[in-house]
Amino acid sequence: MKKERHTHIFALLERIGRLLTMEAHAEGLLPVHWEALRYLQRANRFSMTAAALTAYLGSTKGTVSQTLKALESKGLVKKRVKTNDRRSNHLSLTAKGRNLLRRDPLSDTVKAIEQLGTSTQTELNNGLEDLLSARLAMQNRQPFGQCRDCRYFAKRHPDGEPHYCLLLKETIAESETDSICFEQQPG
């Protein structure tokens, strides 16, 4: 940890990422399949499309199309043509897909995170957020942050009335405010 500390941090990130990938060969799925399932679990209803997933993964639409085809054929994901734009599909997890996510091979890593001290968690959280947003900004990629941290999010009174998205001009349920969105802009 003497000189070149940034290189050391990079190596840690790289190795953790590699180990996560290698562990994610499970239940007959490949790493990218699990990532797609997890994405769909975390995305809000506007972001459950192949295009949004492509941007999230930093992949290409051809590859993502293949991935989704595999997941659909296994009965884990369902496509439904959108009524307002018939080019586009709304993706959703099936009950089987949600069920399978309970056996996510990477949940051991989540447990390892839980076992860190509270202050370590906070520091790690903030460090990773800073790094990710810096890196994403360098490439003009979307952050995929949560609704509630978005500049377009209009919070309503706690009683009754739902929240609202000023960009997409749609109401947002309380339960959706933690979901991630491809249009999110922190602010």
Partner DNA sequence: TCCTTTAGTATCGAGTCGAAACTAGTATTA
Partner DNA sequence: TAATACTAGTTTCGACTCGATACTAAAGGA
- Would you count residue 11 as binding a copy of itself (CB under 8 A)? yes
- Would you count residue 169 as binding DNA (CB under 7 A)? no
Instruction: Give the span between the Cα atoms of 61 and 80, in whole angstroms.
Output: 18
Q: In Å, how far are 25, 41, 69, 157, 183 from 180, measured between CA atoms?
A: 25, 10, 23, 22, 9
Pick the binder of DNA from 41, 63, 125, 126 (CB under 7 A). 63
Per CB under 8 A, the segment of 66-74, 79-87, 91-99, 132-140 that binds a copy of itself is: 132-140
For a copy of itself, give the closer residue by CB, 58 or 158: 58
User: Segment 118-157, which members bind DNA (CB under 7 A)?
Assistant: none
Pick the binder of a copy of itself from 29, 48, 64, 144 (CB under 8 A). 144
Can you give the length of the chain in residues?
Answer: 187
Q: Hey, what amino acid is at 117?
A: G
Question: Is the Cβ–Cβ distance between 1 and 7 less than 8 Å?
Answer: no
Residues forming beta bridges with residue 79, ordered by sequence position: 91
Pick the binder of a copy of itself from 26, 55, 106, 168 (CB under 8 A). 106
Phi/psi for 38 (5° steps) reads -65, -40
User: Could you list the residues that contact DNA (CB under 7 A)?
Assistant: 21-22, 25, 30-33, 49-51, 59-63, 65-70, 79, 84-89
